[in-house]
Structure 1
């Protein structure tokens, strides 16, 4: 890949969140259901909306999602949580309540987290002596 941008990083994080959301749930081992499977007849389904299921993610998508999740190691735990919550499309208000920060602070820290990931993916070292605004400004066009 030539050059990573914030838009590409955001899309990959959202894609990883979608992959993890669509994986089947882990079921407890050692228990089983003795009840027979109930099949609905046509008469039971008349008037019901058809439910479409998304296909399960393939091995390549799961591997890519795992790699994307490793990017969060480059951030502070609080910033990583914030970036992951936004990748899962959680609204700002519950995020702010959960982390105990204002909306403006949450947005600033989210932009900084994305910028740090972009810096690292492009092979640059994030300067520790510079401000968050400097890091974000160098990434955004």
Structure 2
């Protein structure tokens, strides 16, 4: 990857959230059941919805997910929470209720966190004494494709 942009970071976080959802659930060690496995007949299954089929993620997807999990360290806890809620596909209304911010403020926190992650992945120092809007605009300008002059 040559240059990280906030949209690439967002896509990678969404992929990581999807992989986390597809991982098998954790089981407590040492417990087992002595009951025999139940064999269902056709009449038992009538009217029931089929179980969702779980396809485990590939090892490459799991390693990308593990790499992505460390990206939110060093962010403000509210920003990290917004990033992961948005990656899991939560609606903005639910996110605003969870973190206690208005929609515009939550969106600015989300954009700022994406920009900070992209800037760090590009091995650039994030300016500490600047506003969120300045950092967002700085990253947007840096990630814009260069336009050739018109003749």
Select between 38-47 and 1-10 the one with higher mean Cα deviation.
Answer: 38-47
What is aligned with 1:76?
A: 76
Please report the RMSD computed on the Cα atoms of aligned residues, expressed in angstroms: 1.8
Greater C-alpha radius of gyration: 2
What is aligned with 2:98?
A: 98
User: What's the secondary structure of 1:74's corresponding residue?
Assistant: coil
Contact 1:22 1:57 in 2 (8 A): yes
Gap runs ≥5 in structure 1: none
| Alpha-carbon separation, structure 2, partners of 1:45 and 1:7 | 44
| Alpha-carbon separation, structure 2, partners of 1:138 and 1:53 | 44
TM-score by length of 1: 0.89
| Alpha-carbon separation, structure 2, partners of 1:129 and 1:52 | 49
Q: Deviations over 1:18-45 (max 9, x none)?
A: 1111111111222212222223334544
What is aligned with 2:33?
A: 33
| Alpha-carbon separation, structure 1, partners of 2:77 and 2:49 | 42
Gap runs ≥5 in structure 2: 145-151
| Alpha-carbon separation, structure 1, partners of 2:83 and 2:52 | 30
Select between 30-39 and 62-71 the one with higher mean Cα deviation.
Answer: 30-39
Contact 1:16 1:64 in 2 (8 A): yes
Contact 1:74 1:116 in 2 (8 A): no
- In structure 2, relative to structure 1, the CA distance for the partners of 1:131 and 1:78 (3 Å cut) is same
